[in-house]
Copies of this chain bind each other. A is one copy, B any other.
Amino acid sequence: MEIFEILDILGTFVFAISGALVAIRKKMDPFGIFIIGFVTAVGGGTLRDILIGQQPVAWMQNMQYIYAIIFAVVLAILFRSKIKYLSKSLFLFDTIGLGIFTIIGTKVGITLNFNPLISIALGTMSGAFGGVIRDILCNDIPIIFRKEIYATASVFGGITFIILNHFNLPQNITYFITVSMVIAIRLIAVKFHLSLPTFYSK
């Protein structure tokens, strides 16, 4: 199993947890928790596969996605009372997922010889879409439009990945730096209440 596949399953796992945590906060029943976990986990990759025409989409062809999601949802339910800092956990899992799926989407774009801008867009959509449908289905304001820097972190991750890809670094290093970049940007942005400057007078 290559690092790429491992990352894909890991991203699925952490996004499923993030979805399950939101569903638990909404007091859904176990089945609803599973559905939200599932949709959050496969949403980004499904959009990516459909946009490029790679169907049947990935999760239909490889049971490991399903097992990872079931495992994540069961864990989230079992340890729900242990999760004292629900919103911090949610932030963490969601951000790791964003970083990983940004890489995967961007890399798919590069591999298929799309323009770097398109590859970054594909990375951002893969990274952010799962969370967007999670929030729409749970009737939250989509995370992408909240104050926090979100898609911006993904875009910077994509740019980082494309630049690093031009050097002869081992893939693992490139992956690691990119994910760290996305996580660091979000952490710093949330910590210091940073958001993109706007131009509206108050």
Q: Are A117 and B63 in contact (CB under 8 A)?
A: yes
Give which listed residue, B28, B38, B50, B122, contacts A50 with CB less than 8 A.
B50
Q: Are B51 and A53 in contact (CB under 8 A)?
A: no
Contact flag A118-B60 (CB < 8 Å), given A35-B151, A145-B32: yes
Smallest Cβ-Cβ distance to A63: which chain B residue: B115
Q: How far is the CB of A81 from chain B (nearest CB, A)?
A: 9
Asked whether any CB of chain B lies closer than 8 Å to the CB of A163, the reply is no
Give which listed residue, B66, B115, B122, B145, contacts A28 with CB less than 8 A.
B145
Give which listed residue, B52, B118, B122, B198, contacts A27 with CB less than 8 A.
B198
Q: Are A151 and B53 in contact (CB under 8 A)?
A: no
Q: How far is the CB of A58 from chain B (nearest CB, A)?
A: 11
Q: Are B195 and A29 in contact (CB under 8 A)?
A: yes
Asked whether any CB of chain B lies closer than 8 Å to the CB of A170, the reply is no
Asked whether any CB of chain B lies closer than 8 Å to the CB of A199, the reply is yes
Q: Are A141 and B141 in contact (CB under 8 A)?
A: no
Chain B residues within 8 Å of A118, by CB? 59-60, 63, 66
Smallest Cβ-Cβ distance to A117: which chain B residue: B66
Chain B residues within 8 Å of A165, by CB? none
Give which listed residue, B35, B53, B137, contacts A56 with CB less than 8 A.
B53
Chain B residues within 8 Å of A197, by CB? 29-30
Asked whether any CB of chain B lies closer than 8 Å to the CB of A55, the reply is yes
Give which listed residue, B31, B56, B141, B155, contacts A51 with CB less than 8 A.
B56
Chain B residues within 8 Å of A114, by CB? 56, 60
Asked whether any CB of chain B lies closer than 8 Å to the CB of A196, the reply is yes
Closest 6 CB pairs of A and B: A53-B55, A29-B196, A52-B56, A29-B198, A27-B200, A60-B118
Residues on A facing B (Cβ under 8 Å): 27-32, 35, 38, 46, 50-53, 55-57, 59-60, 63, 66, 77, 80, 112, 114-115, 117-118, 121-122, 136-137, 139, 141-142, 144-145, 151-152, 155, 195-200
